[in-house]
Structure 1
Amino acid sequence: MSSNRRHIPLVLAAACSVAGALALAPAAHAVTPLTATATYDCGAWGSGLATLTATDSGTSKSIKITSTAITMPAGTSADPNSITTTLKLTKTSGGVTSQVQFSGKTNPGLSGGNPITLGPLKLTSGTLAAGDSTNSVVLASPPSATNWSLQIVASSPTSATVPCVATANQSAPFVW
């Protein structure tokens, strides 16, 4: 038997092994669009446009929020990973509407006047299946402890709970 014929079973075994591993790996799901904008009223932290960036790895769904219009007030600051953020979104699935929440404690260090960067926030309440859509929870201003679409809780060194309301739907709903 030639050496080439002895290598064929090894090559086939390696190819089958790789194919099996790929078949067992969780599939990444595309979210469309990947980014959308929404307007929020965050009281003393500002009002205006925020960019929401969604990702779906197949095992985890998350949203990151950035905004140059919403900023920490002058004289305040936040250590890295010291802000707990919760985002409420309206979910539509098969014509039925409910809510889901994304939450997390991930942020860079921020100081007064810095634009916010919050997340990624992971899906923590509710479920999302392929084809479900999510959009801003639009509420009347002013935001309060019981009236919020986005809540920002800073803990170190500045302590503050900042409720925000979405004042309009996203530029486009996310379809998961």
Structure 2
Amino acid sequence: MIGRPLLGAGLSLLLVGGGASTATLYVANRADEEQQQARSAISDAADEGAVAVLSYRAETVDADIEHAASFLTGDFLNYYSAFGAESIAPAARDRGITSSATVSASSLVSSSENSAVALVFVNQNITSTDAPDPKAASSSLRLELDQVDGRWLISKLDPI
């Protein structure tokens, strides 16, 4: 008779331990899922921001620059806004320039809670009134991103 209560207690401990293990696995899987979602959000922001910064049309250049600025923050936002207004927009309008960028590959280099670094490979086609045949260019960009109000924004862009 003594064996039966011990067996019941042992089974209870086993069930409790199994439940705890299952809960631990669930929490660990949930944390991995959240990390993957965060990495994906950073990568998407880097890709979309790089494309926005490098893409514009002569007919819509002011709106394109404003759209690109929505992906930027800090000193880089200030620099890009000024450069866009003083250099990109006048040249695009005067010469009928269209620049179309696509991301061919990207990788998240590092990330923390509020900052990240990504490497983005971009293909760019540029046409103008003087040169209507597209000129292709490829570049590699190192982007630093900061999380601002729940969004990942580019704070630095360096060609490499």
TM-score calculated relative to the size of structure 2:
0.29
The structure that is strand-richer by fraction is 1
Larger radius of gyration: 2
TM-score calculated relative to the size of structure 1:
0.27
The structure that is helix-richer by fraction is 2
- Of the two structures, which has the highest relative contact order with CA contacts closer than 8 Å and spacing of 6 or more? 1
